[in-house]
Structure 1
Amino acid sequence: MRPIFLIAAAALSLACASKPPETDAPPVTYRPLERMAGQEILVLPVQYLSGNDTLGWQSQIPNRAAFLAALDDQIETAMNARGLGRAWTFGREVERASKMNSILMTDARSLSAEWLRGRVLPEATVRDPLAQQVRGLVGLKGSRYALLPVELRLENRGNGTGVAILRVVMIDSRMALIRWVGEVVSDPMRTLSPALTASVATHFADLVIAP
């Protein structure tokens, strides 16, 4: 019986030795817009700044248009830092192109997107005149999809901190459908500063590609 025992022990030892060590697999980070990274995308200008102000910060924003335009620039900077600048077109350039073609299209900063500030579901139909406006702007680049930052709102998170939240929708201009709806939340901060909106821009880029 001893040889049989030795063979069995050796087989058990070999099986244990050949078993790979168990390791914790790193969590997979799902990025809602990652499949758009390699496509030509228009990122339209931010359209609205919410009038709700539980923080008292809006008194520090004398020029809303300039404030939102600065956010457009921060979004472009954050996206370019992830290597998206070659295929994506951003707010300032889209606005400039719309003004150069003002006979044919609406100013990209004044789209008919008011209804998107309410509850919107993916796969909803994009209503006219917004559908036509987006189709015309996207057509300038011969692409199909547009990311529309609809509204930035400032919210109180307690303990003297607040966040900026940017609502974004992705529009399929050919099908006139909303393909995705999301909200990008900044890091909590105690004051209104460029760092607050830069945080929104960074987290927006996080939805597409890792830093």
Structure 2
Amino acid sequence: MVLDIIMRQILFTGVEALKIITAIALIIGGVVILETFSILPGLGGESAIGTILVIVVVRELGPLLTAFIVIGRSGTAISTEIGYMTVNHEVEAIESMGINPLRFIALPRIIGVAVAIAALSFYFNTIALFGGYFFARFMVDIPFGTYIANLSAAIGFWDVAVSGVKCAVFGVIVATICCYAGFTVRYSFTEIPQVTTKAVVTSIYLCFLSNILITLFFYI
């Protein structure tokens, strides 16, 4: 039963967000490539493109933008769903059957969101790095072989590993905050929009903060 909830959460959080992730990744990748060539034409923009893409996309924007999209789509849905369950006394009913609501309701969502953010971030990075090239290819003259060589030289194991760490941390933060917000609803359905808004703001703030701390820890 718990595994079914995890899989449904991954489906809702991950698969159903692919369209918007694809669109944003294409735009981000293309814009970064174009900006690199417009800002660094005399400083070896072509040779610097790999390093800049890795720093901007893989290290920072990939995990962070993916987390923000998940907050807007799934975070609000989680806090709203649990809020309704709390007001309707469904959580109390689960407890009365001897089932731990944290294990049955919160844990599957935390795992599902963390896995989905990691998968979506990998997908985002792939689309931004490769799709962005073809998106910008109409305006920038850089051979694909040269682009791949520069990108391969710039990206390292730690870039991928740290991106994965960020995704896991963001997933736990988002799901935990949104689940907690849903459980704090007590008396009225009118509380649900309030706690949902608070959960979104708190999640964004904590994701920003944890992103800075992780970057400082691994790269500074």
Provide the TM-score with structure 2 as the length reference: 0.28
Q: Greater helix percent: which structure?
A: 2
Higher relative contact order, structure no. (Cα contacts within 8 Å, ≥ 6 residues apart)? 2
Structure with the bigger percentage of strand: 1
